Amino acid sequence: MILRRSQKKLYNLIGWDRRSHTFTEGQWIRKSIDTQVCALSPDGQHFLYAVRDAPPDTPASAQYTVLSRAPWFSALALFPHGSGWYGGGEFLDNTLYQLNGSEPRDDIIGRAEGLSQVVAGEVTKDCRTGLRLRNGKAAPLSKLLRERLLACDPAPRPDAHDRYETQAGRLYRRRGMELELIRDFADMQPRFEPAPYSMSKSEDAGWSPLDHEESQ
């Protein structure tokens, strides 16, 4: 998947199937996204991103982290946090994720079915690492992953960063010292449309980070 910044505070998501060489235009959003703390699940189905400097008079507060279904921004889970320094997180596998920061955060959306947040909890006989799900049960993690999390080591860097380059809205593949154009996205125009899984206006949808996006 590609997170593309078109202008300051204007981003869009583009699904990219590297096996079939196809692209799917996803959602646009006008927010300040911290691109350094975003994460995509290993199966490419879900996306974590952090927003800073949003309007403070909303249930999400001025800083929050969102879990969405790729390639859309609409929240399945949303975690407000007081500081912009500890947003975002990482996927530990296709169903488990961990947010940055030491304090557990509550989800105010509650639609991320089948996904579980891993938090640092109390060390007990039944959970000697303290790494738990939000329901209190020990997180089902591999020994290697437990050791990495307890050591606070960063997640491995995807090798795709070394094989591709972006310049002026264009995506390139590196071929030695040369760049091979894959796709030109420079002419894409913003389209503020709901995600396929967004709640309808007739439902009690509460608040969404995309509310009033079309009018901004």
169 assigned to some structural domain: yes
Give the pLDDT of residue 212.
Answer: 45
Residues spanned by the domain of 97 = 2-113+156-215
Using the structure block, give the residue that is written with the tokens 């991320």: 112
Which DSSP category does 72 fall into? Answer: -
104 assigned to some structural domain: yes
Give the pLDDT of residue 210.
Answer: 55
Note the maximum CA span of the chain: 58
Give the pLDDT of residue 211.
Answer: 53
Q: Measuring CA to CA, which residue among 164, 214, 119 is closest to residue 4?
A: 164
19 assigned to some structural domain: yes
Q: How far apart are CA 48 and CA 40, in angstroms?
A: 6
Give the pLDDT of residue 200.
Answer: 57
Q: Measuring CA to CA, which residue among 31, 10, 109 is closest to residue 68?
A: 109
95 assigned to some structural domain: yes
21 assigned to some structural domain: yes
Q: Are 131 and 138 in contact (CB under 8 A)?
A: yes
24 assigned to some structural domain: yes
Give the pLDDT of residue 205.
Answer: 46
Q: How many domains does the chain have?
A: 1
Q: Are 67 and 77 in contact (CB under 8 A)?
A: yes
Give the pLDDT of residue 208.
Answer: 58
End-to-end CA distance of the chain: 26
- According to DSSP, the residues that pair with 49 across neighbouring strands are 66
160 assigned to some structural domain: yes
Q: What is the mean pLDDT of each run of 10 residues along the chain (216 residues)?
A: 89 92 93 93 96 82 92 93 81 96 82 94 90 93 93 82 87 93 93 83 49 44
